[in-house]
Amino acid sequence: MAARTFTVGNFKGGVGKTKIATMLAYDNAEVRNEKTLLVDLDPQANASDVLAKSFGLSSLDKTIMDGINANDFNEAITHLSDNLDLIACTTNFSTFEKYVIQGFSDEADQVTVLKNLLDPIKDKYQAIFLDVPPTISVFSDNAMAASDYSIIAFQTVDESLQGVKKYVSYQNFMAQHYGVSLQVIDIIPCMLTSDDKLDHDVLSEAREEFGDTVSSTVIKYQKRLKGYSRTGITLNRNRNGNFEQWDYRAHAGFIDLLNELDARDEFVQSSKEA
Ligand SMILES: Nc1ncnc2c1ncn2[C@@H]1O[C@H](COP(=O)(O)OP(=O)(O)O)[C@@H](O)[C@H]1O
Ligand SMILES: [Mg+2]
């Protein structure tokens, strides 16, 4: 069966998209032992850098541009571990917009370039996560068209609820305009500061507006999670075999989220069949 494909989005930068995409991919592969692919579609390549570091790679020889040039995404895959693969990005990928616009005159063809490359390799995986830049652009349009589900990173600060609303309405536009069938599966509150009243107010407001689509799992602001951007992701064990406590705390929320995504996916699938 083809992998379930998730875009982690929001048209704002610095809200936790890359953190969520990389942690979900890492834990899905390393803890849940599912065949997982992360596709980095952001020319800033933060996700590529952090995953390379996490698996001790000092450089990435293959990138998404190799897959585009060969018209075959198999040429772009870096194996990080038994279960985790990466399609890495590079600053060169900023030329994707030009490539799409010059190569395809039909608007509908312009948004499905990525989908057409990704579909043939979906059978290799159980889950695929796409990390995108914070822009309304060919990158985000192509990611939406290639995905089954959208996950929205929702930083619980003032104004960010507006960002979520904008993202949802743009997604509706994509559905109407291009027939993209994408379901918002989860709005993930992230970087919540426990003692900040404003954060909690914004979260309550989001729950009123979006109901259960807002995840019951909240990703708090954690120094360990911040640190992974620099050190790479770790999930170390003590000598007694238990997880090191700060790593465990950093990962636990994402494992809950993966279970939640499974349950929600099952619900969506069963309501389609009914
Ligand atoms: N839950 C968190 N706790 C602490 N720091 C976080 C958390 N989530 C993200 N960060 C940090 O916030 C910054 C922005 O996050 P990032 O995922 O890169 O955002 P985006 O991809 O939306 O631009 C990074 O420095 C990242 O390490
Ligand atoms: Mg990012």
Query: What pLDDT digit, counting tens, does each position of 94-112 carry?
Result: 999 999 999 999 999 999 9
- By the 8 A CB rule, do 68 and 99 touch? yes
- pLDDT the model gives residue 5: 98
Average of per-residue pLDDT across 100-128: 96
Which listed ligand is nearest to 24 at the C-alpha?
1
Q: How far is CA 44 from CA 92, 146, 211, 232, in A?
A: 10, 21, 33, 16
Is residue 160 very low, low, confident or very high in pLDDT (cuts 50, 70, 90)?
confident
Buried b / exposed e across 222-251, counting CB within 10 Å, b at 16+?
Answer: eebbeebeeebbbeeeeeeeebeeebeebb
pLDDT at 234 over 90: yes
- pLDDT the model gives residue 88: 98
Average of per-residue pLDDT across 23-29: 98
Average of per-residue pLDDT across 14-36: 97
- pLDDT the model gives residue 273: 80
Geometric angle at alpha carbon 50, from 137 and 248, rounded to 5° = 120
Query: What pLDDT digit, counting tens, does each position of 131-145 carry?
Result: 999 988 999 999 999
Residue that is written with structure tokens 């003692």 in the block: 195
Query: What pLDDT digit, counting tens, does each position of 198-209 carry?
Result: 888 999 999 999
- For ligand 1, atom 14: residue with the closest CA: 14
CATH label, 4-273, candidates 3.20.20.70, 3.30.70.260, 3.40.718.10, 3.40.50.300: 3.40.50.300
Query: What pLDDT digit, counting tens, does each position of 177-219 carry?
Result: 988 889 999 999 999 988 888 888 999 999 999 999 999 999 9
Residues 6+ apart with CB under 8 A from 243: 235, 236, 237, 251
- By the 8 A CB rule, do 75 and 124 touch? no
pLDDT at 158 over 80: no
Query: What's at 195, amino acid-wise?
Result: D
- pLDDT the model gives residue 214: 97
Q: How far is CA 164 from CA 149, 179, 183, in A?
A: 15, 21, 14
What distance in angstroms lies between residue 155's CA and the mean position of ligand 2's atoms? Answer: 13
- For ligand 1, atom 6: residue with the closest CA: 226
The response to whether residue 79 sits with its C-beta less than 6 Å from ligand 1 reads: no
How many other CB atoms are there within 10 angstroms of residue 103's CB atom?
11
Question: Where are the chain's structural domains?
Answer: 4-273
Query: What pLDDT digit, counting tens, does each position of 57-71 carry?
Result: 999 999 999 999 999
**DSSP bridge partners of 150:** 7, 184
The C-alpha atoms of residue 142 and residue 267 are separated, in whole angstroms, by: 26
pLDDT at 165 over 90: yes
Question: Ligand 1 atom closest to Cα of 191?
Answer: 1
Mean of pLDDT over the chain? 95
The C-alpha atoms of residue 252 and residue 2 are separated, in whole angstroms, by: 27
pLDDT at 274 over 90: no
The response to whether residue 17 sits with its C-beta less than 6 Å from ligand 1 reads: yes
The C-alpha atoms of residue 66 and residue 73 are separated, in whole angstroms, by: 8
Is residue 153 very low, low, confident or very high in pLDDT (cuts 50, 70, 90)?
very high
- pLDDT the model gives residue 272: 84
How many other CB atoms are there within 10 angstroms of residue 210's CB atom?
17
Share of the chain above pLDDT 70, in %: 100
